[in-house]
């Protein structure tokens, strides 16, 4: 099952039904589909902050080239071995939801973020 997490970008948290360990260190894998040099720097900072705020959790960053990202996500979801966390563009949300890979509450939240929040900010006028 995949859960969406929305901060600045739409991100994706995947779980293959395994329970999280109750003790000991936790390692999560994060796939990102825009591995440009500047994005890598930004993600490294985000991961550093996350790990500082969440002791005992480490994040493995996996850059995925855009031209391979969709196929990688789809095949990994179908095989039950998707990343723990991954960034997706908002136009994949419907497809992943139709596959049963997203929790309904998170799909609703994604659409609120996409249409309401973006709509409000795009309608702002200077002056």
Q: Is residue 61 part of a domain?
A: yes
Tally of domains in the chain = 1
Question: pTM for this one?
Answer: 0.64
- Which residue range(s) make up the domain with 54? 2-14+26-97+106-112
Q: Is residue 7 part of a domain?
A: yes
Q: Which residue has the tokens 């391979």?
A: 68
Is residue 12 over pLDDT 70?
A: no
What CATH code is carried by the domain that includes residue 37?
3.40.190.10
CA distance 24 to 14: 20
Is residue 52 over pLDDT 90?
A: yes
pLDDT at 18: 47
Q: Is residue 124 part of a domain?
A: no
Q: Is residue 123 part of a domain?
A: no
Please give the full DSSP string across 35-73, using - where no structure is assigned. Answer: --HHHHHHHHHHHHHHHHHSTTEEEEEEE--HHHHHHHH
pLDDT at 122: 46
Q: Contact at 8 Å (CB) between 29 and 84? A: yes
Which pLDDT band, with edges at 50, 70 and 90, does 27 fall under?
very high
* Mean of pLDDT values over 92-112: 72
- Beta bridge mates, 30: 61, 85
Q: Is residue 127 part of a domain?
A: no
pLDDT at 100: 76
């Amino acid at each position: 099952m995949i859960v969406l997490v929305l901060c600045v970008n739409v991100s994706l948290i995947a779980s293959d039904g395994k329970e999280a360990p109750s003790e000991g260190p936790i390692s999560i894998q994060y796939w990102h589909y825009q591995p440009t040099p500047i994005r890598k720097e930004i993600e490294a900072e985000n991961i550093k902050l996350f790990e500082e705020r969440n002791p005992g959790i480490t994040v493995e960053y996996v850059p995925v080239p855009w031209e391979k990202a969709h196929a990688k996500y789809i095949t990994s979801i179908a095989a039950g071995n998707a990343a723990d966390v991954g960034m997706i563009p908002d136009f994949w949300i419907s497809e992943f939801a139709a596959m049963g890979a997203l929790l309904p509450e998170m799909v609703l939240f994604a659409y609120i973020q996409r249409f309401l929040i973006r709509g409000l900010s795009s309608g702002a006028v200077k002056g």
